[in-house]
Amino acid sequence: MSCDTFVVLPPGTSNGTIVFGKNSDRPGDEVQEVVYLVRASHGKGKKLQCTYIEIDQAEETHAVILSKPSWMWGAEMGANEHGVVIGNEALFTRLSGTTDDSMERLLGMDLVRLGLERAKTAREALDVIVALLAEHGQGGRCSDTQDNLMYHNGFLIADRTEAWVLESVGKLWAAENIKSGCRNISNCLSIGTKIDLCSEGLKDAAKQHGFWDESKGEFNFALAFGDGQLIRRFTCGKKLLEDLSASGSFNAKDMISVLRDEESGMDS
């Protein structure tokens, strides 16, 4: 099974719906839970223990359904009572693989759950996630059995009206807004020059690392911080989604067929 996430919006869908789907490639022997957590009031000044670190708790949290590894606090995908859905992807970037990645901070899966528990819209969820990234950063082992499994994170966030792709490199990030059509993410940076929101100083950081020279053209997030390659699953998945949504009738059955598609690699 691969790790791919996608969304299809009008005019690609039937009845004006938004269709979201995700596959997962978590370790095969890892126990997975599907859990429902009710809306809750926590009051002021409370603390919250995430997978590795403690952070400030929100006064109110929304009801959520989560698909999560049993050993961690966070979740790989989920939805909340307001129709916000989030899925995350592992990203391996030009800044991955340092000892800093092993520092225990928030996991990308923690950020998925925090976004769902605290936001009523996709944009609010994005704001929650990037604020927590800025305050706490991301890091720590992403498996309870594989010591060297550590990565940065990408997210696909959607609600009833729009979607956002959020891709992060440490505390740096870029986001792309999707209002129509289709969009998918896999285990590679995919945001190029269409950057609708980004972390402060993103371009300056790229210059400091020697990843971008403005004299050589427009800033491209994926080229600057990624390896410059879109993996086959991403490109094949993009074409599959475009083909299936071209008639404007993409529905839940099509979503299932995409998740099962072997030729594109989205089920490999």
User: Which residue numbers are catalytic?
Assistant: 3
Q: Which of 156, 205, 203 is closest to 182 using CA atoms?
A: 156
| Cα atoms in the 13 Å half-sphere on the side-chain side of 26 | 23
Contact 155, 122 (CB under 8 A): no
Cα(206)–Cα(193) distance, rounded to whole angstroms? 14
Contact 185, 154 (CB under 8 A): yes
Contact 203, 231 (CB under 8 A): no
Angle in degrees, CA 132, 168, 120, rounded to 5: 50
